[in-house]
Amino acid sequence: MTDSGDTAVTAGLRDRLWQAVLDGDAYTTTDVLRQSLDAGLDKETLLLGLVAPVQEQVGLAWAANRITVAQEHAATAANERAVTALIPAASARRRQRGRVTVACVDGEWHAFPARLVAEVLQLHGWQVDYLGPQIPVAHLIDHLHRTGADAVLLSSSIPARLPTAHAVITACQAAGMPVMAGGRAFGPDGRYARACGADRWAADARGAAAALEAGLRAPGPAAARQAVDDLPHLADQEYTMVVGARSRLVEQTLTDLEKDAPAMQLYTDVQRHRTAEDFAFIVDFLATALYVDDTDLFTGFVTWTADVLEARSVSARCLPPGLDLIARQLRDFPRATALLREGAAAVAARPRPGPGETAPGPGGVA
């Protein structure tokens, strides 16, 4: 979403916005944005050249443990409020291009990128129905039938929601609607969007606008299909089994770790709970990597988890043995054990980042 070509955005402006957002101060945030508009910044540059990069910085700062979860939420809320206050509702604007629906994958909390896409498309003359986060698939489909949108833009930032995203994509297409996917969850080059059969992938809001202007063809009757038609490896049931065994896997891994690592027996309930959560996330990502059959997705997540843990001064030492313990429970699943082996190797081989250099995570741990 970042576009460094927006030279009109000065570093000073960005710093002021960053500070206001960091304080969770919607009033000052709104003031900074209003002054930028008054100074002649156009709305699209404001959204994509100023608001979006600052929002991305918020995520990076959290991953590097420079701000708390509370600050992250407050910052996002401040940004969102300011955008609402400054960009008038679309009703007054001319709409000659057509009507699109912008939605997040159900279970998605990072709705702000979708919100920015919705605003930018409105600026480009589209009539946009922005459905926000936490929209059940049934509502989305109902909305499409009622409004007869020309296309659906689906945003997701959490790769663990990819199986759900896939279900949403096929459901929209079965309803005769072309789907454009975007957001971090779909991979840096959109490879998971293709794996899930999306009609198009867009790297950012401007890309989405350009793709819409080029036109999206409505899918034919052949679009009605099942997950395994797109992803034949699902036939091996490994994904289904791992999802079903999630709680058991986590519980057994913790029990085994405590046996092997006496230090863990001294953990407080809170620490034990956090560790359980970390492994629950790992199992979620393992399942997702099995779903899209992609090793990078899993190794990327475990190395990122290791970085985040260390940014919070928690040793990532229990990660490789933990991965090994999960692998032992899944020894009958060749794809899963291979992923876990790769994951452990990636954690071990990872270069140590200095403080503040933590790479942006694939999201999920919040």
Please report, as ranges, the residues that interact with other proteins according to CB under 8 A. Answer: 23-28, 30, 68-70, 73-74, 76-78, 80-82, 84-86, 89, 106-107, 109, 129-132, 134-139, 142-148, 174-176, 220-221, 223-224, 243, 246-248, 250-251, 270, 273, 276-277, 279-280, 366
Nearest to 4 by CA among 68, 69, 66, 52: 52
Residue type, 205: A
Phi, psi (rounded to 5 degrees) for 128: -115, 130
CA distances from 126 to 5, 83, 181, 221, 327 (A): 24, 18, 17, 26, 49
Shortest distance, CB of residue 210 to other proteins, whole angstroms? 22
The type of residue at 148 is G
Cβ distance to other proteins smaller for residue 8 or 276: 276
Residues 6+ positions from 93 with CB-CB distance below 8 Å: 122, 125
Q: How far is the CB of 334 from other proteins (least distance, A)?
A: 25
Count of residues making up the chain: 366
Q: How far is the CB of 28 from other proteins (least distance, A)?
A: 7
CB of 9 or CB of 250, closer to other proteins: 250
The C-alpha atoms of residue 69 and residue 72 are separated, in whole angstroms, by 5
Would you say 190 or 330 has its CB closer to other proteins? 330
CB of 163 to other proteins, least distance (A): 11
For residue 153, the cross-strand partners are 102, 180
Compute the least distance from the CB of residue 143 to other proteins, in Å: 8
d(CA 273, CA 278): 9
Q: How far is the CB of 351 from other proteins (least distance, A)?
A: 30
Residue among 143 and 191 whose Cβ is closer to other proteins? 143
What is the DSSP secondary-structure string of 155-195?
A: E---GGGHHHHHHHHHHHHHTT--EEEESGGG-TTSHHHHH
In the complex, least distance from residue 36 CB atom to other proteins, rounded to whole angstroms: 15
**Smallest separation (angstroms) from other proteins to the CB of 130:** 7
Residue type at 63 in one-letter notation:
A
Q: Are 284 and 246 in contact (CB under 8 A)?
A: yes
Residue with smaller CB distance to other proteins, 41 or 187: 41
Whichever of 132 and 355 has its CB closer to other proteins, that residue is 132
Beta bridge partners of 154: 103, 181
For other proteins, the closer CB: 187 or 301: 301
Look at the block and give the residue holding tokens 């009609």: 199
Distance, CA of 75 to CA of 24 (rounded, Å): 5
In the complex, the smallest distance separating the C-beta of residue 84 from other proteins, rounded to whole angstroms, is 6
Q: Are 318 and 259 in contact (CB under 8 A)?
A: no
Distance of CA 4 to the CA centre of its chain: 22
Pick 76 or 156: Cβ nearer other proteins: 76
Nearer to other proteins (CB atom), residue 146 or residue 331: 146
Q: Smallest distance from the beta carbon of 68 to other proteins, in angstroms?
A: 6
Opening angle at CA 347, ends 340 and 156, nearest 5: 70
In terms of CB distance, is 135 or 195 closer to other proteins?
135
